[in-house]
Amino acid sequence: MTDDVKVADKTDSLTDLKETDEDLRLPSVVEPAHFPVETIDTEARHQTPAVGQRATRPDGRLHGLGQTKYIDDITFPNMLFAKMKRAGISSALIKSVDTSEAEAMPGVAAVLTGREIPVNSYGPSYQDQPVLADERVFHAGDPVAAVAAVTEQIAEEACERIKVEYEPLEPVYDPVEAMKDEIRVHPPHSNIYATKRIKKGDLEKGFAEADRIFEGVYSTQMIEHVPLEPHASIAQWDPNGRVTLWSSLGRITLGRADIARTLDMPINKIRIVGTIVGGNFGGKNEITTEPALALLSRKTGRPVKMVYTREEEFIASTTRHPFIMEYKTGVTNDGMITARKVRLVLDGGAYCSWSETTLGKACILSAGPYNIENLLAEAYCMYTNKTMTGAMRGFGAPQVCFAYESQMDEIAHKLGIDPLELRMKNAFHEGSASPTGQVLQSVVVKDSLEKAAERFGWKEDGQ
Amino acid sequence: MKKRGKGMGCMWYPIGFTVMANPSAATVKVNEDGTATLITGTVETGQGSLTVLGQIAAEELGISTDDVHVVSADTDATPMDTGAIASRTTYVTGNAIQLAAEKAKNILFDVAAPMLGVRPDQLEAKDRRIQVKGFPQSCLPIGEVAAHAQNGAGTPALGSASYNPPTVAMDPETGQGKPFSTYVYATQIAEVEVDEETGEVEVLRIAAAHDCGTAINPMLVEGQIQGGISMGVGMAIQEEMLFDDEGRQINPNLTNYIMPTSLDMPDLEVDIVENFDPTGPFGAKGVGEPTAVATSAAICNAIYDAVGARIYNLPATAEKVLAAIKSKDHSDRQKYLPAG
Amino acid sequence: MTDVTLTINGEERSASVPPETSLLRLLRDEFFLTGSKLGCDVGDCGACTVIVDGLPVNACLMLAGQVDGRDVVTIEGLATLEDLHPIQKAFEEFASLQCGFCGPGVIISAKGLLDRNPDPTKEEIKDALSGNLCRCTGYTKMIEAVQDAARILRGEKEAA
Ligand code: FES
Ligand code: FES
C-alpha cells in the first residue's frame, strides 16, 4: 500500500474539522435535563394495604415525559436497518429469487432469503408460517426476502431491486368457499384446520319444548389491532454465538422457544429482552421478524433493527377473525331459553396463529352467560389466502357476543319482554353449569345487569 | 330526523388460555430494609400489569406499592411466564407472585417468632410490620426482621413459586370439561343517536358494569374498561379491513382505516361490580379483554331501538344503517319456525 | 444536504441533513430527542406532535428545512429539573396513559390548547386531541387530566 497523503493535507483536514466544530455552534451551556430528579409521588403508592389503592404507575411518569424507551428509541453503534420484500401476490409458487442486484448496492450489508433459515416455519399451535416464504406464497403480505443496510432507505430500495419470479396459483378468499376444500391453501392439508364442538342436553327435546324458535345469521369484519407502536425488534449476535433480541413481543418465554426452533439453536443461546410495548391487544403474541434479524446480524456481525411501517402493521401482522354465525334459539312464551344451536365459521387467514384458542373460546362462550340445558355449538376455522388472523382482545368473544346479544334483543322485542328482564330470567347464577358442564363460582351476571341498568337509568324513560 | 335509542350487551369471559397449560413463575426477594424486589417474566404491554403485580406482592408482605420494585421481561434473568395474553396476568402471574411472596414472608416469620417470643403461625405482615395476630402492639418493623434474617440468621427472605390454573381437559365429542379456572361477567348499555336521513350513528353514552373479582387497582381497571369500550365502538360502527379481488388490502393505513378518535368516544360511566373470587390473588380475576366484548352488541341493539333497523353484519356503517332503515323492518329477515 | 438552525426547547441547535429529512427524523436521529414518536409517518396518528412557533404540528409532515430559524418545543422541553409540567403530572395522577406511545403527542397537543385557551370546555379538549390516535385508553382519562391541569395552570387548584 502506498501512502501518498502529504502531511500538509492532514493538517488541512484538521483545520477543516475545527471549522466544522465552530459551524455546529455547539451549545455553550449544558442542555437541561428532560425530567425532574426529585421523586414526587402520589400518596396511594405509599399506603398500606397495597391492594385496592389507586396507585400511579412509575412507567406512566416516563411515558408522559417522553422518556420511555421503545425499540425504535434504542440505538446501538454500527446498527443496521432491515426491511422486508413483500410478495404482493396472494397465492403463488416462488420460481426464483434473484438478490444479486440488491446485494451489489452500496450500503447493503446482507440479504437473506427463506432457504437460509434453518427451520423455516413457526406458529404457536401449528408451525405453518414461514419466516420468509421460500417455496410458496400464502397471502399478499408474506415476506420473501430481507435486507440489512446502513439506512432504512437503502434497505427499502434494495428490496425493490430483488426480483422474484412467481407462478400464480388459484386463490381462495371466502371462508365458506374455502370450506369446500376445492382450492387448498396449504395442500395437501384441508382448509378446515380447526374444529370445536360442545354438546349438552338434548337439542331436539329442547326445541320441542319451545313456544317460539328464532333464527339469525350474523357476521363480523376483519379488524387490525392498531397498536400505536408498530412491531419492532433489534437483534445482536455476539462472538460467543449467543443472540440477544430486544423485541416488542408480549410473551418472551414462549417466543424464545419458537426462535430457538427456527434457528435450530439451544434455548440458552438466546436472550429476549422485552421492552415496554406500545400496545399489544393480542397482536404481539408471536414472533415475526426476530429469526430473520438474528440471521442478518450473524451475517454482518452488527446489530440489526427492524420496525414495521404502518402498512406492514396491517398487511403482515395478525388481525381479528371475521366470523359467520348461525344462531337458532328456542324460547318459551315467557322468555325462558330451552335450546340453542350455534354454528360458527371463522375466516382463519393464511396461517393458524392463535386460531385454535380463538375458536375454542368463541365456541365455549357462544351460548352467552345464560342457563341453557340443551345446546349444540360447532365451530370451524378455515384457511384463506388473506392476512393471517390471530389473537385479538377477546379471542372471538366480541364476535359471538354481537350475535347472541343481538338475538337476545330480537327475542325480547318479539316476545314483548323488557330486554333487561329477559336477560335476568336466563342469566347464570352462582353454581350454574356452563356449556362445558363446569360449575361456575363468583358469578355476578345479574349484579352487573342491575348495576349497569341503574347507572344508565334503563327503567326511567320507559320503552 | 335524529332518533335516540338504548340497547344492552351482556357477556361472560374466561381468564387464561384453553388448549394448553399456561403457567407463570415468579420470585420475590425482601431486601434488608424491608423493601422488596419482584422478578417476573411477564411483559408490560400498556395495561399497568407491573404496577398491579407489585401491589399483589406488597399486599402479601404488608408493605406499600412503592416498596416493591418490579424487574421484568428478560429471558436471561426472569422466570418462565406464559405472557401478557388472554387476560391472565393478574390472575395467573398474580397467583404465582402471591405464593412466592408468601414463601419469603414465612422466612421472615421464622426469624421474627423467637424475637417476639411466639410461634411463626401466630404472626402476620401488616403496615410494614411483622406483628402478632390479635395483639399488634407486639411487633417488629419489617426492615429489622429482614435485616436479621439476612445478616443474623443467615436466611435471606426470598421465595419462588409457580402457578397453573387447574383445568380438566374437554371431551373431544361433547366439549364437556373445565377449560378455565374462572370467568368474569359484565354488562354495557349504550345510548345512540341515529340520523334517519344519512344512517349516521353517534354513540352518546355507555354505562358499563364489569366484574374483575377484587380490583387490585381500581384506577387501572377503569382505564381498561374505557379503552376496551373504545375498541368496541370501533368494531361496532367504524373499523373494517378491506381487500381487493386479488387478496390485497385496500385500506392498510390510518387514513382509510377509521378507528375511534377522541371525538368518537361517548361519555362513559364505569362501575366495578364488587366481587371476590376465592381462587384469585386477593380475590382478583382479570379485566383486559372482557372490556371490548359487549360494546358492539349494545350499540347495535340501541340502533334497533332508535330506528327499528337490525344490523346483522358489522360494522354498522352509515350506508348499512341507512339501507336497513330503507328496507323497513329489517328484522323481518328473522325467520320464525313453528315450534317442534 | 440542507443546513438548518432552529431553537429546540430554548436551545439553538444546528444540523446538516439530506433535504428529504422530516422534522421528526431530525429530532429523533440527529438530536436524539426520541420523545416524539413515529406511528405512521404520514400525518394520521399524531404520535409525532411537536409545537412549532406556538402551534402543534405533526413533525413527520414537516421537512427539516421548513423549520430553519423557527422555535420548536418537544415533549422533552416541558419538565424541569425540579418538577413535571402540570399536564404531565395530571396525566400521571389520572393514569391517563397506558402503553404511553401516544402520550408525548397527546400532551403536546394539550399544551398547545392550554397555551391558547386556558379554560377549554370538554368539547374543545376533545377537538384539540382529535388528531392524536390512542388505541389503549378511550381518551376519557386524558380529557379529565387536561381539565385538571387547566385548573392548576389557572391557579384555581393547588398542584399536588
Ligand atoms: S407519525 Fe406523524 S402523524 Fe403519525
Ligand atoms: S396509551 Fe397506548 S396508544 Fe395511547
Per cent of chain A over pLDDT 90 is: 89
Given the residues B32, B197, B289, B319, the one annotated as active site: B289
Q: Is the CB of A60 under 6 A from ligand 2?
A: no
C-alpha span between B14 and C87 (Å, rounded): 37
Helical (H) or strand (E) element with B297 = helix B295-307
Name which of C84, C101, C133 to mutate to probe chain A: the one with the most chain A Cβ atoms within 10 A of its Cβ.
C101
Domain A73-168, CATH: 3.90.1170.50
Phi/psi region, residue C58 (left: phi>0; alpha: psi -120 to 50; beta: rest), is beta
Pairing of strands B158-163, B24-30: antiparallel
B278 contact residues in A (CB cutoff 8 A):
441-442
Class of domain C86-153: mainly alpha
Query: pLDDT, tens digit, for every residue of A320-355?
Result: 999 999 999 999 999 999 999 999 999 999 999 999
C-alpha span between C33 and C23 (Å, rounded): 11
* For residue B306, pLDDT beyond 50: yes
C-alpha span between C16 and C19 (Å, rounded): 9
Query: pLDDT, tens digit, for every residue of A416-430?
Result: 999 999 999 999 999
**pLDDT value of position A30:** 56
Q: Which residue in C44, C99, C125 is closest to B253 by CB distance?
A: C44
Confidence of residue A463 (pLDDT cuts 50, 70, 90): very low
**pLDDT value of position A457:** 98
Cell for A107? 450500503
Is B200 considered catalytic here?
Answer: no
Name which of B51, B225, B262 to mutate to probe chain C: the one with the most chain C Cβ atoms within 10 A of its Cβ.
B262
* For residue A371, pLDDT beyond 70: yes
The single residue listed with the C-alpha cell 423493601 is B35
C-alpha span between A62 and A75 (Å, rounded): 18
C-alpha span between A339 and A291 (Å, rounded): 49
The single residue listed with the C-alpha cell 433480541 is A245
Q: Do domains A189-224+318-456 and A232-315 have the same CATH topology?
A: yes
Ligand nearest C39 Cα, by number? 1
C-alpha span between B285 and C101 (Å, rounded): 27
Q: Is the CB of C98 under 6 A from ligand 2?
A: yes
Enumerate domains of chain B plus CATH numbers: 2-14+180-334 (3.30.365.10), 24-163 (3.30.365.10)
A225 contact residues in C (CB cutoff 8 A):
135
Give the residue on B whose Cα is nearest the Cα of C96. B223
A363 near A198, Cβ under 8 Å? yes
**pLDDT value of position B336:** 45
C-alpha span between A449 and A444 (Å, rounded): 9
> Would you tell me the crossing angle of helices C86-93 and A58-65 to the nearest 10 degrees?
150
Helical (H) or strand (E) element with B88 = none
Q: What is the DSSP string of B223-268?
A: HHHHHHHHHHHIIIII----B-TTS-BS--STTTS----GGGPPEE
* For residue A25, pLDDT beyond 80: no
Is the C-alpha dihedral spanning A52, C93, C40, A31 positive or negative? Answer: negative
Pairing of strands A337-347, A374-382: parallel
Beta bridge partners of A234: A246, A305
Q: Is the CB of C102 under 6 A from ligand 2?
A: yes
The number of the ligand 2 atom at minimal distance from the alpha carbon of C136 is 2
Q: Which residue in C95, C126, C127 is closest to B48 by CB distance?
A: C95
According to DSSP, residue A75 is labeled -
A149 near A155, Cβ under 8 Å? yes
Per cent of chain B over pLDDT 70 is: 96
SS3 call for C105 = helix
Q: What is the ipTM of this complex?
A: 0.97
Name which of C41, C125, C139, C147 to mutate to probe chain B: the one with the most chain B Cβ atoms within 10 A of its Cβ.
C139
Q: Which residue in B213, B241, B314 is closest to A442 by CB distance?
A: B213
Beta bridge partners of A304: A80, A235
C-alpha span between B72 and B26 (Å, rounded): 10
Class of domain A232-315: alpha beta
Least confident stretch, A9-23, A367-381, B214-228, C43-57: A9-23
C-alpha span between B147 and B163 (Å, rounded): 29
Task: Look at the domain A189-224+318-456 and name its fold.
Answer: Aldehyde Oxidoreductase; domain 4 (3.30.365)
List of chain C residues with pLDDT < 50:
none
Give the residue on A whose Cα is nearest the Cα of B235. A223
**pLDDT value of position A35:** 81
C-alpha span between B226 and C106 (Å, rounded): 17
A56 contact residues in C (CB cutoff 8 A):
92-93, 95
The answer to whether the Cβ–Cβ distance between C137 and B227 falls below 8 Å is: yes
Q: What is the pTM of this model?
A: 0.94
Domain boundaries, chain C: 2-76, 86-153
Per cent of chain A over pLDDT 70 is: 92
Mutate to test the pocket of ligand 2, among A62, A228, A280 (most ligand atoms within 8 A of CB): A228
**pLDDT value of position A31:** 60
Per DSSP (E only), the strands in chain B are: 2-14, 24-30, 36-40, 68-72, 123-126, 129-132, 135-141, 158-163, 183-195, 201-211, 267-273, 335-337
Is the C-alpha dihedral spanning B206, B207, B211, B215 positive or negative? Answer: positive
Is the C-alpha dihedral spanning A458, A463, B3, B5 positive or negative? Answer: positive
Angle at B175 between CA B172 and CA B181, to 5 degrees: 120
Give the residue on A whose Cα is nearest the Cα of C46. A228
Least confident stretch, A203-207, A315-319, C77-81: C77-81
**pLDDT value of position A24:** 53
Give the residue on B whose Cα is nearest the Cα of A199. B174
The answer to whether the Cβ–Cβ distance between A36 and C135 falls below 8 Å is: no
Q: Which residues of A186-197 are buried (b: 16+ CB within 10 A; e: fewer)?
A: beeeebbbbebb
Confidence of residue A7 (pLDDT cuts 50, 70, 90): very low
The answer to whether the Cβ–Cβ distance between B46 and C136 falls below 8 Å is: yes
Confidence of residue A52 (pLDDT cuts 50, 70, 90): very high
Query: Pick from B198, B129, B149, B119: which is nearest to B29 by CA?
Result: B149
The answer to whether the Cβ–Cβ distance between A42 and C160 falls below 8 Å is: yes
* For residue B14, pLDDT beyond 90: yes
**pLDDT value of position B75:** 97
Query: pLDDT, tens digit, for every residue of B284-302?
Result: 999 999 999 999 999 999 9
pLDDT (average), residues B118-135: 98
The answer to whether the Cβ–Cβ distance between B41 and A252 falls below 8 Å is: yes
* For residue A2, pLDDT beyond 60: no
The set of residues, in sequence order, having a beta carbon less than 8 Å from that of B135 and lying 6+ positions away, is none
* For residue B328, pLDDT beyond 70: no
Least confident stretch, A42-56, B7-21, B254-268: B7-21
* For residue B269, pLDDT beyond 80: yes
The set of residues, in sequence order, having a beta carbon less than 8 Å from that of A418 and lying 6+ positions away, is A412, A463
The rounded mean pLDDT for chain A is 93
Ligand nearest A307 Cα, by number? 1
Longest dimension (CA), chain A: 104
C-alpha span between A402 and B290 (Å, rounded): 13
* For residue A196, pLDDT beyond 50: yes
Q: Is the CB of C137 under 6 A from ligand 2?
A: yes
* For residue A109, pLDDT beyond 60: yes
Q: Kindly tell me the number of DSSP H helices and DSSP E strands found in chain A.
A: 13, 17
SS3 call for A399 = helix
Domain C2-76, CATH: 3.10.20.30
* For residue B333, pLDDT beyond 90: no
Residue B129: Cβ within 10 Å count: 22
CA dist A452 → B188, C24, C157 (Å): 6, 45, 33
The set of residues, in sequence order, having a beta carbon less than 8 Å from that of B33 and lying 6+ positions away, is B143, B146, B147
For residue B155, which amino acid is it? Answer: T
Confidence of residue A33 (pLDDT cuts 50, 70, 90): low
* For residue A164, pLDDT beyond 60: yes
Confidence of residue B334 (pLDDT cuts 50, 70, 90): very low
C36 contact residues in A (CB cutoff 8 A):
66
For chain B, the chains sharing at least 3 beta-carbon pairs closer than 8 angstroms are A, C
C11 contact residues in A (CB cutoff 8 A):
27, 29, 31-32
Ligand 1, CB cutoff 6 Å, lining residues: C 38-41, 43-48, 58, 60
